[in-house]
Structure 1
């Protein structure tokens, strides 16, 4: 059974319209919601949500991501094929960097601009809802086996986005918060291999001047105690055992974070 995943900042109501369009084109597809709770216009958060999950989907999955503050402007609509032959996954969404980190997980990548009106909603294109009128139908057609080359021309000047804008400054690892989850855990863009190069489990680190333990998992510290760990996504995470680190540390998506190695 073909799969389509959806990742948006739409909250309620609007995802249902996308699903209706998809099922009208391919009633055999299974639709999986990654999340519709991304902060409004939170492109980097949405990119991280996709990035952290896509490798667990089977080959052939079509991922539709719509966090699109540029909807209705000259920004382009993209379709991406990523992965080796026979193992490809597909990504549909706006040209604002949202899809790129997830697609790059699979190595090889071909990027196309969606210009073929035959793959868009037949009743017309709204200036404010390309999720329903362009991305949903294009994704549905790909899930039925339409070759990606049919969507439009291949391009190379797409908007890039990555999570690698961290740095090392003496004893400090300096990065940013790329996602704060529903538990209040703070996920940084500092990767596991960098942290473990300078620190070991059981040691102490400082987060924005506050000393905490660097451990393997939450239960290694007392309830309400702060900690740092490597999350399941492979990045350094700041947490509070049975508490909310985002509130305690006053950190939110996009904030700079400085980790001092003790």
Structure 2
């Protein structure tokens, strides 16, 4: 368990059912997916920043977890600015590259849209424990327990891949075969890791079956997944953010329903 994971579980969002976090992320994302305009994305992002203050995570952790989003959003905007649909004044044109008022407006809207959709999902799921998520999916959404517990067991094993990879690398170095061709070395280690994963999965499956995880009878849960006031409040906040973004875009006349005609 890392230091970031330990701190995340003490935050304000740690006690909320992960299913509610899934729902809130969906409520925020769906309206932004249906439109491409700067106003709705900017309003949603501004309201989300207020929500982040109550997530119970430090600024260092926030930047460490979200830096890929901050990197991907501007890169997406640059691509749209260069290759987006040209309209209005054209500032630069060469082959397929067209930089114009229209492409720059689309670039700004796309950048804000990526940030508004991705950031709340990342921040909300920083505080999600895999076991709590499995409990919520099985008890709240009534998903099959066998599928949920199998996915949880597999997710718990992901962290072992890094340790296995390092162990394989050290073993190959000890045998003097670690410096012969990077591609060949990578393929050999990947195959060895695949074999180890299959063996571990078979052993884990047998152990779970022996403990009754695959039984057809109704199972009990060690930690009940509750869905109460806090969860409904988070869903309400997500709905308010979406409604505010839509209302602002419609009021300013910038609402651009991308699935509509034309």
Fold conserved between structures, TM > 0.5: no
Higher share of residues assigned strand = 1
Higher CA-based Rg: 2
Structure whose residues are more often helix by fraction: 2
- TM-score calculated relative to the size of structure 1: 0.24
Choose between structure 1 and 2 for higher RCO, CA contacts under 8 A separated by at least 6 residues.
2
TM-score, length of structure 2 as denominator length = 0.24
